[in-house]
Amino acid sequence: MLTKRIIACLDVDAGRVVKGVQFSSLRDAGDPAELALRHSLAGADEVVLLDISATYEHRSTLLDVVRRTACQLFIPFTVGGGIRSLDDAAAVFDAGADKVTVNSAALADPALIPRIAHRYGSQAVVVAIDALRISKGKTSPFGVKATGGRHSTGRDAVEWATEVEKHGAGEIMLTSIDRDGTRGGFDCELTLAIVNAVSIPVIASGGAGAAEHFVEVFRDGRADAALAASIFHLGVTPIGALKRELQAAGIPMRWPC
Amino acid sequence: MIAIVDYQAGNLASVRKAFDYLGQESAITANPEAIAGADKVVLPGVGNFEATAALAGPLQAAITTAIEQETPLLGICLGLQWMFESSREAPQLRGLGLFPGECEKFPVEVKSPHVGWNQLQLRGASRLLHGLPENSFVYFTHSYRAPLVESTVAGCAYGGTFSAAVERGQLFGVQFHPEKSGTAGLRLLGNFCQL
């Protein structure tokens, strides 16, 4: 049976894993390569590395981190943050990534999605959507923000999701800005709205705090995968224990693995 | 030396990385002589079946030479599909026809693409899958699938059962990505290196 995926996310700034609450107040959580390997051995189904600073000076640091992480990781490895062009994506793939995430650059130029998909395949292009609840939505009550949640785009999250699928995205990584870092649970309504609008897999992100949150987002949000960061790094929820609990709740998991 | 055939169909770095990890010398190459003379040939590839059009000509000739010399050949994902006769994804093209049948889309009842970890249903003896337990989890990402054939050594259930792994003589193909399938995948690649 195809299992639901548990994805460990590493938010990296200047070569170190950091974690913010609602996209701010960072703190150091360790070395990315070390953490990635630890998560993989603990049962993570995938690892995502997001370069959250993505300034020009840090690009070479990032590629070095990607290289060090990739050489010992034999599960899918996604890298994102600051990918603005096919060349940026190519550098990350060459360093050992299997997939890239694009976000702000795809909002500014949606043709970036097919450009990368044409060369590396749709399965290698994950479009990250940072969504938030808004009072007056267009077709849904969810809007889209760009540049790490800093700028409004005027786009509707459901419309944007269907558009990126048409452009050839292989998966959608959907982050609820409202829930990110709160550990209060995923936004299942947001997740379900996107899942119902597209046929490509949807990764739910933002708000993971306990095993029941994962049960909810798989059962009620119908997510294909769920992503979390700090609860795994800080050992709040060991991945193996989480997977056993989800399996007991009837959610298909890769366990033991 | 293991030749990883480069025909511009996706990212080959991770396949190479897995061989590095296993301590096996490999090279990503589009040189027909290097492919024809390799100890083993790996044919990876992702994306649309149309991408296999780039194999027509010298690369296909080199791969055919390698097959005639009984060089072990491992097709991965699109590489496996190309070892069949054809695919509905690009009906104008022909595959190598090493295994009979046509690759087709998943039925509408299931979400496509099939992305994630699914289980192998082993069928009979296999050198490639030696040591892998029944129901091993491996990582898939594909929109088209190959039919079950006599040479199927592992099936996978997703909207019906399809060929997850085929094997006949020195010919091997896997629909999943062993280089991304954790310890099960490394075991499989290790078996291939030992052939």
Q: Which two tokens stand for residue B71?
A: 């060089």
Residue B167, exposed/middle/buried by CB under 10 A (0-12, 13-18, 19+)? Answer: buried
Task: Encode pLDDT of B27-80 as tens digits.
Answer: 999 999 999 999 999 999 887 899 999 999 999 999 999 999 999 999 999 999
Active site residue B114: no
Asked if residues B179 and A74 have their Cβ atoms less than 8 Å apart, the reply is yes
| Predicted complex ipTM | 0.93
Of the residues A45, A74, A243, the best mutation for testing chain B's interface (the one with the most B CB atoms within 10 Å of its CB) is: A74
Asked if residues A233 and A30 have their Cβ atoms less than 8 Å apart, the reply is yes
Of the residues A2, A67, A116, A255, the best mutation for testing chain B's interface (the one with the most B CB atoms within 10 Å of its CB) is: A2
Q: Is the pLDDT of residue A55 over 70?
A: no
Q: Which of A122, A63, A121 is nearest to A88 (CA)?
A: A63
Q: Which two tokens stand for residue A190?
A: 């947001």
User: CATH number, domain at A53?
Assistant: 3.20.20.70
What integer pLDDT is reported at residue B78 of this predicted model? 95
CA distance B166 to B43: 14
Task: Encode pLDDT of A118-149 as tens digits.
Answer: 888 899 999 999 999 998 877 899 999 988 77
Q: Is the pLDDT of residue A74 over 90?
A: yes
Indicate the pLDDT class of residue A22, thresholds 50, 70 and 90. Answer: very low
* Distance in Å, alpha carbon of B56 to nearest chain A alpha carbon: 19
CA distances to A202, A214, A227 from A197, in Å: 10, 21, 20
CA distance A78 to A63: 13
Q: Which two tokens stand for residue A83?
A: 């990918």
Quote the percentage of chain A above a pLDDT of 90.
73
Average pLDDT over residues A220-247: 91
* Number of domains within chain B: 1
Active site residue A45: no
Q: Is the pLDDT of residue A34 over 50?
A: yes
Is A64 part of any domain?
yes
A157 touches chain B (CB under 8 A): no
CA distance B53 to A250: 44
B21 touches chain A (CB under 8 A): yes
User: What Rg value do the Cα atoms of chain B yield, rounded?
Assistant: 15
Q: Is the pLDDT of residue A182 over 60?
A: yes
Longest Cα–Cα distance of chain A, Å, equals 47
* From B89, B103, B114, B177, active-site residue: B177
* Beta carbons within 8 Å of A64's beta carbon, 6+ residues apart: A15
Name the 3-class secondary structure at B28.
Answer: strand
CA distances to A7, A68, A82, A242, B100 from A45, in Å: 6, 19, 24, 12, 33
Average pLDDT over residues B170-184: 97
Indicate the pLDDT class of residue A21, thresholds 50, 70 and 90. Answer: very low
Active site residue A130: yes
* Number of domains within chain A: 1
Is A112 part of any domain?
yes
User: What range defines the domain where residue B181 resides?
Assistant: 2-194
Q: Is the pLDDT of residue A57 over 70?
A: no
Of the residues A98, A202, A227, the best mutation for testing chain B's interface (the one with the most B CB atoms within 10 Å of its CB) is: A98
Is A68 part of any domain?
yes
Q: How many CA atoms lie within 13 A of A247 on its CB side?
A: 14
User: Chain B partners of A94 at a C-beta cutoff of 8 Å?
Assistant: 13
Is A256 part of any domain?
no
Q: Is the pLDDT of residue A27 over 70?
A: no
A111 touches chain B (CB under 8 A): no
What integer pLDDT is reported at residue A137 of this predicted model? 73
Indicate the pLDDT class of residue A13, thresholds 50, 70 and 90. Answer: confident
Task: Encode pLDDT of B101-116 as tens digits.
Answer: 999 999 999 988 999 9
CB pairs under 8 A between A and B: 95
User: What range defines the domain where residue A76 resides?
Assistant: 5-248
* Distance in Å, alpha carbon of B113 to nearest chain A alpha carbon: 7
Of A8-17, A141-150, A230-239, the one with minimum mean pLDDT is: A230-239
**Record: contact A70-B14, CB cut-off 8 A:** yes
Is A167 part of any domain?
yes
